[in-house]
Amino acid sequence: MGKQNGAEKPKRTELGRIKDRVTFLYLEHAKLNRQDSAIVVADNRGTIFVPAAVVSVLMLGPGVDVTHRAMELIGTSGMAVVWVGEYGVRQYAYGRSLNHTSGLLEAQAKLVSNQRTRLQVARKMYQMRFADEDVSGLSMAVLRGKEGARVRRIYREQSEKTQVAWSHREYDPDNFESSTPINKALTAAHQALYGLSYSVIAALGASAGLGFVHTGHDLSFVYDFADLYKADYSIPVAFAMTAKFGADKDIASKTRLAMRDAFKDGKLLARMVSDLKDLLGEPDTEEVDTLNLWDDKLGLQAMGVQYHEVKEDEDV
């Protein structure tokens, strides 16, 4: 076998932790290859080199060609990949998580499968949005009403602050151009937030489909999670970009760039990691690879033991 070009496969201890990485990188109409430990991105404007181990999620839009060697590096470096449609308004697939443990997934499944604990987590998510009042005793119907009123108030306040006209939220996934500038910006901003939320959920090994407020969709928990941050990020960014650029045909692209900067400046990624673990009741500690065997009476059993050679009265 000939000599392999490029860097050796990195060890897990050498990879950047999810909360220390750049949030996301959106690419479209480009060719992706690999050189050593960097992703080579080439388009009609030139070529750049992206260190694979410092990006949390790579959003691949239309017109992207990816080589096998690039995907190999992406996989070994723990970068999450999300394939999205034009303007980021569709999300098609994603790759393996950065976290190789199942602790969060098991905790999430346990919490969402019990009506009492599911309600507790849902109330906890609403409490994060209503910090000044106690909502622990409110029903889901009352909480939905309060949340609807809160969102309408935020839209109204942002409209007054930026002098951007606002009437209502409209979104047609089949005809993006039919929307008003502010609704285009909101769509782009929310989708960027969904992408980041998805990347954190997937990277930590939780399920995007097991939602506590939303349900019945493979992205239910993504919508739950992203709703926690819209008031601080996607809504004000969308209004600010519309006030600045108006009916600019590139309003969606400019809004995505502004969201990227807001994520970085606000340290949202680290906040999301901590919030997700807190919601699911898992300690905010370093992830460790573990693999055990399940037993209905004895609990977790060690992996790699030749159990057919162990006598019944022996300790494993």
Reported as type and span, the H/E element at residue 273 is: helix 268-279
157 a known binding residue? no
Cα 315 from Cα 198, distance rounded (Å): 43
Q: Residue 51's CB: how many other CB atoms inside 10 A?
A: 14
Across-strand partners of 40? 33, 49
- Check the annotation: does 278 bind a ligand: no
Q: Is 214 annotated as a binding residue?
A: yes
Helix, coil or strand: residue 89: coil
Q: Residue 245, Cβ neighbours under 10 Å: how many?
A: 16
Q: Which residues contact 91 (CB under 8 A, 6 or more apart)?
A: 82, 83, 84, 85, 191, 194, 195, 198, 219
Sign of CA dihedral 222, 223, 224, 229: positive
CA distance 114 to 123: 14
Contact 59, 26 (CB under 8 A): yes
Q: Tell me the three state secondary structure of residue 64.
A: strand
Binding residues for Mn(2+): 147, 214, 227
Annotated binding site: 147, 214, 227
